[in-house]
Amino acid sequence: MNAGFMAAIAYGILAIIGGIMGYAQAKSKISLIAGCGCGALLILSAIAPLPEQTWGLISASVVTVILLLAFVIRFMKTRKFMPAGLMLVLGVPALGVMLNQLIAAA
């Protein structure tokens, strides 16, 4: 398993934890559904493909970009580091690793 897949799994786990924390603190069902759904997609994208297939990294990168856009919008509205800023700080390097692996595979 390469670094891109590991980054997708790590960011997926963080998304799931964030969704659970959002529900626990604010009773936000949207946070729970979005966090668990996106996290599951990231993890599935990382563990489902066979070796030497890039579709998993492509789908994980797309989900990560969507999450990053959502967190940029949320950070701009709230100006609070938690959780949007943290997910941005962790998501950008994760996306970088995924894109680096995609470029290396091409």
Per-residue pLDDT at 1 exceeds 90? no
pLDDT tens for 18-37 read: 999 999 999 999 999 999 99
pLDDT tens for 32-85 read: 999 999 999 999 999 988 767 789 999 999 999 999 999 999 999 999 998 899
Confidence category of residue 106, pLDDT binned at 50, 70, 90: confident
Count of domains forming the chain: 1
The amino acid present at 65, given as its one-letter code, is V
Q: Distance between CA atoms of 36 and 54, rounded to whole angstroms? A: 23
Closest CA to 12 of 105, 79, 98, 72: 98
Location of structure tokens 């996306």: 95
Domain with 54, as residue range(s), is 3-105
The amino acid present at 70, given as its one-letter code, is A
The per-residue pLDDT for 36 is 97
